[in-house]
Amino acid sequence: MNRRILNIAIPNIVSNITIPLLGIVDLALVGHLESEVYIGAIAIGTMIFNFIYWGFSFLRMGTSGFAAQAYGKKDFQEGFYQLYRALFVGLLGSILLLLLQKPIDLLSFFIINGSEEVEFYARQYFYIRIWAAPATIAIYSISGWYIGMQNARVPMIIAITVNILNIAFNVIFVKVFGMKSDGVALGTLCAQYSGLITGIIFLSKHKKRLKKYLISQDILHLSSLKRFMNVNKDIFIRTMSLVFALSFFTAKSAKFGDTLLAVNTLLLQFFTIYAYIVDGFAYAGEALAGKYFGAKDKISLIKVTKLLFGWGMIMAVIFTLGYVFGDNLLLRVLTNNIEVIQNIQPYLVWIYLVPIITFGAFIWDGIFIGVTASSSMRNAMLISTFTIFVPSYFILHHFYQNHGLWAAFMLFMIARLVTLSLYAQRSIYNKIK
C-alpha cells in the first residue's frame, strides 16, 4: 500500500515543487527591483486570480474523484465521460470570465485597499493574465482526470512544463526586456498555453477511445450531469471559502501598509511551499480513496487513510526542522530589501508552526475529494472560515495587530482539521457496507 501511495504522491510532489518555485522566482524577480510596490502588485494580482482560478479548481478535484470511482468500478466509459463533462463546463466558464473581466476588475479593486501605485501595477498584471483563463481551466480538467485514472505521471509532466516555462518566460520578460509585474503576467500567459498543448498531445494517445465515447446525449445525460454539477457546486463553495480566507488574509495585510503586505506575502511562500509538497499525498488520497470507495473496499480505504496521515506527519517534522534552520536563507533568496527583512523577523515563529498545524487538513481534503463527500467538505470549510477565522481576526488584531492575523489563520487551519475529522465517519466510512 505504501508503494501505491508513493507511486502517486512522488510524481505529484515533483510537479508541485515547481509551483512554489515559480512563486519564489516571481518574488525574487520583483523583490530585487527598485521598489517594494511590485511585491504588493504581485500579491494582489495573485489574490484576484486565486479567486478566479481556484474557483474553477473544482473541475480538477471533482473530476479526479469521479474518475477514480469509475476506475475502481472498472467503468472506463464513464471515466471518459467525466473528462468531457469537465472540459465542457470549463469552456463555458472561461468564456464567461473573458466577457466579465471589466466587472471583475472593478469589484476586485473596490474590495482591496492597496496603495494607488500598487493597484496600478496590479491592474496591468490582471488584464494580461486573464487571457490565460481557457488554458488554465482546461489543464485543471485534464490533470484531474489523469489523477483519477491512477496516472500521476502526465499531470507531473504538464505541471513541470508549465512552471519551468513560466520561470523562463518571466526571467526573459523582466530581466531581458525590462518589464515589471506585467512581464510576470505575460510569462504566465505564455506558459499556460504551452501546458495546454502538452495536455492535448497526451490526450491524443487516447484518440480511439475519445472518439468512441464522444456521445453527446450520454455525456450530457441530465441525471449524470446533475450529479457532476452538484458535487462540483459543493467543491466550488468550499474552494471559494478557502480562497476568501487567503484573500482576506492578503487584504488585511494590505491595511497594515506596503511593508507588512510584502512581509506577509513572503511568509505565505513558506506556507505555500509546504502545502504543495504535502498535497502530493493529498492527491494520492484522491486517487486511492476514490478507487477503494468505488470498489466498496472499506478495509483498504481505512488502511490508506492511516498511512496517508503517517506520511503527512513525517513531512511535517521534516519541514518544521527545515524552516527553523533555513528560514533566513530562503528569505535572502526572495528579497534583498533590508526593511522587509528586518520587519519579517518577529513573525517567523508562525512559519515554524505551519507544518504540524496544517498537514491533517490537507490529507483529509484529498480523501474527501476522492470519495466525493463534497457537502461535508463544504460545511467544514464554511464553519472554519466564517465562524472561526473571520471572528478570530476581528478579536485578535485589536490586541496583537499582525500577530493577531496570523493567530486567526492558524485557528482556521486547526478548525479545518477538527471539522473534517468529525465528519469523516459519517460521510465516508459508514457509506460502505
What does 133-202 look like in DSSP terms, one character per residue? HHHHHHHHHHHHHHHHTT--HHHHHHHHHHHHHHHHHHHIIIIIS---HHHHHHHHHHHHHHHHHHHHHH
Rounded Cα distance between 304 and 300, Å, is 6
User: How many other C-beta atoms lie within 10 A of the C-beta of residue 299?
Assistant: 9
Cα 202–chain centre separation = 23
Predicted pLDDT of residue 220: 64
User: How many other C-beta atoms lie within 10 A of the C-beta of residue 117?
Assistant: 14
Considering only CA atoms, give the Rg of the chain. Answer: 21
Per-domain residue ranges of the chain: 2-431
Block means of pLDDT (10 residues each) for the chain, length 433 residues? 83 72 66 68 76 78 85 81 86 92 86 74 88 92 90 89 88 84 87 94 83 67 71 85 86 81 84 87 90 89 94 94 84 73 85 94 93 92 96 91 93 96 92 78
50: part of which helix (H) or strand (E)? Answer: none
Alpha carbons within 13 A on the beta-carbon side of 164: 8
If we measure between CA atoms, which residue out of 63, 87, 97, 94 comes closest to residue 216?
Answer: 87
Gap between the terminal Cα atoms of the chain: 22
Q: Take residue 391 and report the three cell numbers written for it.
A: 471572528
Predicted pLDDT of residue 113: 67
| CB neighbour burial string for 190-214, b if at least 16 within 10 angstroms, e if fewer | bbbbbbbebbeebbeeeeeeeeebe
Rounded Cα distance between 307 and 285, Å, is 10
> Helices 76-99 and 133-148 sit at what angle, rounded to 10 degrees?
160
- The DSSP code for 53 is I
- The DSSP code for 34 is S
Q: What is the pLDDT of residues 313-365, one digit of tens each?
A: 999 999 999 998 887 777 776 677 777 777 888 888 999 999 999 999 999 99
Cβ-proximal residues to 194 (8 Å cutoff; 6+ apart), any chain: 161, 162, 165
Cα angle value 370/415/363 (rounded, 5°): 30
297: part of which helix (H) or strand (E)? Answer: none
Q: Take residue 354 and report the three cell numbers written for it.
A: 505551519
Residue with cell 479548481: 57
| DSSP track, 299-328 | HHHHHHHHHHHHHHHHHHHHHHHHHHHHHH
Q: Take residue 7 and report the three cell numbers written for it.
A: 507511486
411: part of which helix (H) or strand (E)? Answer: helix 402-427
pTM: 0.78
If we measure between CA atoms, which residue out of 152, 235, 143, 132 comes closest to residue 192?
Answer: 132
Q: Take residue 307 and report the three cell numbers written for it.
A: 498511512
Predicted pLDDT of residue 36: 66
Rounded Cα distance between 366 and 405, Å, is 27
Please say whether the beta carbons of 232 and 59 come within 8 A. yes
